[in-house]
Structure formats: structure tokens, C-alpha cells
Amino acid sequence: MIEPRQAIQQAIEGSEGPAVVAYLTAGHPDPDRFLADLDAVASAADVVEVGVPFSDPMADGVTIQRASHAAISKGVSLRWILARLRERATGPGAPVLLMSYLNPLLVHGYERLADEAALAGVAGFIVPDLPLEESEPLRSALERNGLALVQLVTPATRAERVRTLAAASSGFVYAVTRTGTTGSGALAADLAGYLGMVKAASDLPVCAGFGVRSREQVAEIGRHADGVIVGSALVEVLERGEDPAAFLSGLRP
Amino acid sequence: MITDRATLEDLLAGLLPDEAGRFGPYGGRFVPETLMAALTRLEDGIRDVFHSERFGHLLSAELVDWVGRPTALTRARTLGAEWGVELYLKREDLAHTGAHKINNAIGQALLARELGARRVVAETGAGQHGVAAAAACARVGVPCTVYMGAVDVQRQAPNVDRMRRLGAEVVAVETGDQTLRAAIDEAIRDWVSDPEGTYYMIGSAIGPHPYPYLVRELQAVIGREARAQMEGTVGLPDAVFACVGGGSNAIGLFHGFLDAPTVEIFGVEAGGRGEGLGEHAATVSRGRPGVLHGTYSRLLYDDDGQIQETHSVSAGLDYPGVGPEHAFLADIGRVTYFAVSDDEALDALDRCCRAEGILPALESAHALAGARRWARENPGARVLVGLSGRGDKDMPILTALGGRP
Ligand SMILES: Cc1ncc(COP(=O)(O)O)c(C=O)c1O
């Protein structure tokens, strides 16, 4: 059996055209629909990021802030998410990662987290407020279960550090395409140069995003990266009660 | 999980924070990757610019000519007699703009200018750091944007007008708990959007490394002065008290006395109106280790790791986190932290007004209330209280609460 973190990599590399990595905040807009929404998203995406809501999402724009606060107020928590994921029929399908700020993970306990995540079919983690220098304790707990800890790089990251981060990453390398919070705004000025540099520095596939909303952006990023990450735009589709699978399929070039 | 050992001796030898920005297990740098380069630049700037002789002269001159340092040490005869102790107040309320916050703001504003920042962003709770940031940025000629929770904009209205008059843009933060914590979230989001050109001027001894160090170094002037003023007259105090929100005035005052083993040191937190989560802001005395706003320290959160709303009558103490050095000082037992209630603080404020003709900030009134409690068990002791700021900004809330006159 392959390790979960390799399954992520294969899912991205196996995609025809740029892989679609889709983000939704767990339990938003409706906790009762979480697994249905997740299945719909997973049917049209290559990798799914499930957001664990946090009270202080300092790297997120207004959409994910709103989603996080709403989900918390409806009782969504890391424990709730892990329990729901365990109920979900695990079969083939897009690998699921959890995207979480550090404090909920720290409070849960890293060893217990790694075990419970593996049992729930989680393939890895993305932790936006955990830079490489602070990541060893979580990384070693996840590694024991073959789970990924995806490292982020940004347009502000120097080439040498990009190489270090890429070498430490697993699953894929997350290239933030804009300097700022999630949600909106223009892509980095020299997208081709930036993503080209990240690609050259990395043996893993590179997925890029932050503020991706349109098919044109997906096509443009797809020319320079292996996958495209779509977050806030998908959260808004779910908030409007529209079909997430149709939205994601429509983004593919 | 995080078990690094460090001792008081390490701290006194200048070894903390260590290379990783840690005070024992606490501190570090838990920020989005976008900010890592900015923090490294700030670290370099502290080493090359902040510690240079030229910068030292520049800052000292501003502290004297513009801030009005040294601030007085006042013997509080009437209040001391009432409480049965020999009481001294370190008068940060006399510093320009009315609180210790200016020591930090002018230092960071000068540093921001030296490092070539195009603009400064800051957060504020009570508005005192916002006013200090606005004034310091005006003084050094760098544009300033201040984020302030919408609740605080209401309860500290006079300071909002002051900031605007001093040329700052004030943004009311409507998200989250709409107090200091949400303001910090929003200031960090702004900084994340332009980490190259924007300088984040944090207002307390919190945040990712190297901020807790930088703020401590800038506030240490309080303790240095107070120590010299006391030793030059009556001698060392038996006990030192400061209020602890994020912990900047406290860390600055404490650093003057940490190496004096006979001096007991107390951090007084906001006990609010009760013991339950959400009713107080007693982070060190009632919190647990966790990560917020870039640092590993003690925090108030629920069983899912969600940061809790806090309550204090004092906006400047209404924060669920605390500087990592305080968590360390608590663990090694050098400083004792405890909480006093809203009512105790209001009562101490009242007594200080009547007895000494000094209207302390509600934050500082917590330090007074803590000292008063300790004084009951220690009659005749010599006590130093950090009066971190003046209470003019609190007039709307004091008026709303009624009571005297
Ligand atoms: C007068 C005064 N004292 C104390 C504080 C608390 O901050 P710190 O704990 O950083 O000194 C504030 C914060 O706004 C303040 O205005």
C-alpha cells in the first residue's frame, strides 16, 4: 500500500491538465451537509483541503473568516471533523488534507492527532502559521503515519529558502500566488518567473493559488504549475447553495 | 512537546530569547511564510541599526526631549498610609501621550524609518498604543494606520479622535471579538499584504520573535529609571507590582529588579467579573500553553483550541494572550501572577484619585489593587507600583459606570 502522502502526489500527477485542489471550510454553511458537500467537491477535484475553523484566521480574507466564525458558532471543531470523516465511506476518491491553524492541533496533541487523522482517512496537513523552523514536532508525528505536511512558499520567499522548503515538503509544494490573505486580489506580477523558480527548486508537484476565481486564472497558473488551488471562490459557491462539482468542472481549461 | 530548559541565570546573562526566539519553551515564530522574510529583516535591523551607537543616541535624545523622560517617582504618602505600606509610584502617566506605550512607539517608529518603511501599521486596544504610534509616526514622518476593535472604538472614543488628529488613519475592526485581539488579527493581515514596505509596530511584548525582545528592550527604561531612583533615595523595594495585558509595561519594569533576589515581583492581571472562561483576562494565572499571534505562550482557549473572548473593564488588559517572557517568568517562579477584579481596580482608582490627586488608567489601577491586596499581609513593606498610564482616556467609561462624584 502506498503512503497517504504519496497518494496526494499521485493524485496531482495523474490529473489530465492542471490538478484542481479544492478548499472548503468544514461544516460551512451547514454542518449537516458537510459530508455531502465534501463528496460533491471530491468528485470534481483531484485533492480536497478541509478547513478546520479557527477563531483567529490571520492569513485569511473575509470569506474564510466569515466561514470560520460561522462554523465555530455551529459547533464545528477538529474533533467533530475527525469523527465525521471517520463515518465517511473511505474508498477511492480525491485525497483529503486538513488545513488548520496550529493551536487546535497543538491542543489536540500531535501523536493522537496523527493516529486519529490516519484512521479518518486524512492524507496530510497544511498549517499556515507553522513555518519550517517550528514544524519538527508535528512533522515527526505525522511522518510516522505516512501523512504529509505541506510546506508553503510565497512570492516573498527567496530562492534558497524555496529549495529548503520544497525539500522539506511532502505531497506537494503550496505556492502562494499573491502576497496577502486568501480570497481576492491580483496574481503575483511575474507569475511565470515565480512559479518557474519554485518548479525548478522542487521534486514534488507544485500547486499554486490564493485568490483564484476564474477559468482564465486556472489556465494561466496551469501553464506554470502542476495544480491550482481554489478556496474562497468555492466557499462562496457553497454559501450560495450552488453545485460545487459543476463550478469546479467549469474551472478546468 | 516543547521542553527546552532555561533558567533565570540565562535570562540575566542576556541569553534569552535564544537564537530561536525562545524563553525556555515559550516564544518562537509562528507566522505565515509570507512574513518570515520580514521578521528576518527586522532581526537584522535590530542587530545592525537598533544596537548601533548612532541609533542609541537618536533614541535617547527623543526619550528626553520629546517623551519627557525620565518620568517621576512619586511617594504616595496618603495612599501608602491608608494601606499600611511605604508606597512609590513610577509615573509613566507623565510620559508624552499619557502612558508607557510611547517608549515603545518612538523606538519602533525610528527603527521603521531607518529600515526604509513606507508606512506603519499598528493595533490598539485602549487606544494608548494607537495614540503613541500616531504621535511617534508623525514625529518621524512615516504614515500610520491603526486597527482598533469596534467595541474599543466605542469605549475609548477620545483616543480615536486623538489618533486622527495626529494624522493616523483609524480602521474600526468589525470581525471577531471586535477588541484588541481582532485588531491584531487585522493588523497582521494588512502586514501580510505588504511585508516589504509596511512595518508592523506591535504594541506589547507579544507576537513573533523578535518583537517580544524589541518591545522589552524599549520598555526596560522604566525599570532602569525606577531602580536608580529608588536606590538613589530610599533603597530597593520589597515588592514591585505592574499590570499585565500583553505585558510590556510589566516586563520593562520587572527587568530593573529581576536580579535583586530580595525584591518580590508581581504581575497583576485582569480578573474581570468572574472565574469562568470569557469573564476575565487572567492569561498567565488561568491560561494554558498555546499559539496565538505568532508566539507560543499562555493563552485562554476552550477544549477545541479556539481562543476565548475575554472581559475586563480595562480595554488595555482585555487580551487572551500574554508575552512569552511572562509565561517563562511564571514557570521559573521568579514572578508571581494573580488577578484582581474590575471592582477592586475601580476602587483602587478611586482611592488613588482622592488620596494622591492622580487619575490612573484603568489598566494601572489593577497594579494598585494588586499592591493593596498584598499590603494587607505585609504591613510596613516598601512597595513600588508601575503606574503605566493616566486615566483621562477612561473618563467615558468611568462616567458611564457612575458612582463618584
Ligand atoms: C495605561 C496602560 N497600561 C497597561 C496597558 C497594558 O499593556 P501592557 O501589558 O503591554 O503594558 C495598556 C494597554 O493599552 C495601557 O494603555
Q: Are residues B54 and B155 in the same domain?
A: yes
Using CB atoms, which residue from B29, B193, B291 is nearest to A179? B193
Residues in chain B: 405
Give the count of domains, chain B.
2
In a domain, B9, yes or no: no
- Check whether residue B106 and residue B81 sit in a common domain: no
The amino acid that residue B124 corresponds to is T
Domain boundary among B190, B211, B232: B211
Asked if residue B164 and residue B83 are part of one domain, the reply reads no
> Is the pTM for the entire model greater than 0.95?
yes
Instruction: Check residue B385 and give its pLDDT.
Output: 99
CATH number at residue B143: 3.40.50.1100
Q: Are A21 and A95 in contact (CB under 8 A)?
A: no
Which cell goes with B110? 525610528
* Per-residue cell: B398: 468611568
Handedness of CA B243, B247, B252, B258 (dihedral sign): positive
pLDDT of A182 reads 74
* Helix, strand, or coil (residue B238): coil
What's the domain range around B255?
70-98+220-401
User: What is the pLDDT at residue B239?
Assistant: 99
* Residues B350, B238 share a domain: yes
Quote the DSSP letter at residue B226. Answer: H
Say if residue B85's pLDDT is above 80: yes
Q: Which three cell numbers stand for residue B14?
A: 542576556
Q: How far apart are CA A147 and CA B185, in angstroms?
A: 30
Which residues, 6+ apart, have CB-to-CB distance to B392 below 8 Å?
B98, B158, B359
Examine the pLDDT at B3 and tell me if it is beyond 60: no
Q: Answer with the one of B211, B229, B251 that is the final residue of a domain.
A: B211
- DSSP-derived 3-state class of residue B96: helix
Report the Cα B133 to chain-centroid distance in Å: 14
Are B193 and B290 in the same domain?
A: no
Q: Which of B184, B211, B238 delimits the end of a domain?
A: B211
The yes-or-no answer on residue A37 being catalytic is: no
Q: Could you tell me the residue ranges of all domains in chain A?
A: 4-240
Q: How confident is the model at residue B176 (pLDDT cuts 50, 70, 90)?
A: confident
- A-chain CB neighbours of B43 within 8 Å are none
Assess whether pLDDT exceeds 50 at residue B194: yes
Residue B402 has pLDDT above 90, yes or no: no
Inter-chain CB proximity A131 and B30 less than 8 Å: yes
Residues A151, A162: Cα–Cα separation, whole Å: 10
The complex's ipTM works out to 0.95
User: By percentage, how much of chain B surpasses pLDDT 90?
Assistant: 92
**Best of B1, B30, B190 to mutate (most A CBs within 10 Å, chain A):** B30
Superfamily of domain A4-240: Aldolase class I (3.20.20.70)
Secondary structure of chain A in HEC code, one letter for each residue:
CCCHHHHHHHHHHCCCCCEEEEEEECCCCCHHHHHHHHHHHHHHCCEEEEECCCCCCCCCCHHHHHHHHHHHHCCCCHHHHHHHHHHCCCCCCCCEEEECCHHHHHHHCHHHHHHHHHHCCEEEEECCCCCHHHCHHHHHHHHCCCCEEEEEECCCCCHHHHHHHHHHCCCCEEEECCCCCCCCCCCCCCHHHHHHHHHHHCCCCEEEECCCCCHHHHHHHHCCCCEEEECHHHHHHHHCCCCHHHHHHHHCC
Q: Within this chain, do residues B313 and B380 fall inside the same structural domain, yes or no?
A: yes
| pLDDT given for residue B2 in this prediction | 44
Q: What is the pLDDT of residues A194-216, one digit of tens each?
A: 999 999 999 999 999 878 899 99
Chain B hits for A154, CB-CB cut-off 8 Å, are 32-34
The C-alpha R_g of chain B, in whole angstroms, comes to 19
* Residue A110 sits at the chain B interface (C-beta within 8 Å): yes
A199-238 burial, b at 16+ Cβ within 10 Å, e below that, comes to bebbebbbbbbbbbbeeebbebbbebbbbbbbbbbbbbbb
Q: Which three cell numbers stand for residue B233?
A: 533615595
Phi, psi dihedrals of residue B118, rounded to the nearest 5°: -85, -30
In this structure, the answer to whether residues B53 and B146 fall within a common structural domain is yes
Q: What is the pLDDT of residues B94-147, one digit of tens each?
A: 999 999 999 999 999 999 999 999 999 999 998 999 999 999 999 999 999 999
Set of chain A residues whose Cβ sits within 8 Å of the Cβ of B42: none
* Residue B217 confidence (pLDDT) above 90: yes
Same domain, B307 and B383: yes
pLDDT value for B126:
85
> Measured between CB atoms, which of B28, B304, B307 is closest to A78?
B304
- Tell me, in angstroms, the distance from the centre of ligand 1 to residue A5's CA: 46
Domain co-membership, B126 together with B39: yes
Are residues B109 and B193 located together in one domain of the fold?
yes
Question: Does B203 share its domain with B258?
Answer: no
B302 vs B320: CA distance, rounded Å: 11
Size of interface A-B (CB pairs under 8 A): 118
The helix (run of H) or strand (run of E) holding residue B291 is strand B288-292
What is the overall mean pLDDT for chain B? 96
Set of chain A residues whose Cβ sits within 8 Å of the Cβ of B209: none
pLDDT value at A184 more than 60:
no
Length of chain A: 253
pLDDT at B93 over 50: yes
Give B70's contacts (C-beta < 8 A, 6+ positions apart): B225, B229
Neighbouring CB atoms inside 10 A of A14's CB total 9
CA of B180 to the centre of ligand 1 (A): 11
Short-list B305, B319, B296, B129, CA closest to B218: B129
Contact B292 A56 (CB under 8 A): yes
pLDDT digits (tens, 9 = 90+) for A142-182: 999 999 999 999 998 999 999 999 999 999 999 998 887 77
Phi and psi at residue B86, to the nearest 5°: -95, 110
The yes-or-no verdict on residue B403 having pLDDT over 90 is no
B279 domain-assigned: yes
Name residues contacting ligand 1 (CB within 6 A). B 99, 101, 125-126, 128-129, 204, 243-250, 316-317, 361, 363-364, 388-389
Question: In a 3-state reduction of DSSP, which class is residue B283?
Answer: helix
The whole-number pLDDT of residue B224 equals: 98
Among B36, B176, B194, beta carbon nearest to A56: B176
Q: Dump pLDDT digits (tens) for B321-355.
A: 999 999 999 999 999 999 999 999 999 999 999 99
How confident is the model at residue A128, as a pLDDT? 97
At B365, is the pLDDT very low, low, confident or very high (cuts 50, 70, 90)? Answer: very high
Q: Does residue B259 sit in the same domain as residue B397?
A: yes
Confidence label for B405 from pLDDT (cuts 50, 70 and 90)? low
Whole-angstrom Cα distance, residue A117 to residue A85?
Answer: 9
B23-61: pLDDT as tens digits: 999 999 999 999 999 999 999 999 999 999 999 999 999
Looking at every residue in chain A, the average pLDDT score rounds to 94
Output the pLDDT for position B158: 86
The one-letter amino acid code at B94 reads: L
> How far A1 CA lies from chain B's nearest CA (Å)?
31
| A4-31 mean pLDDT | 97
Is some CB atom of chain B closer than 8 A to the CB atom of A184? no
**Strand partners of residue A98:** A50, A125
Judge whether B10 lies within some domain: no
Instruction: Indicate if the pLDDT at residue A186 is higher than 70.
Output: no
Tens-digit pLDDT profile for residues A93-125? 899 999 999 999 999 999 999 999 999 999 999
pLDDT for the residue numbered B1? 39
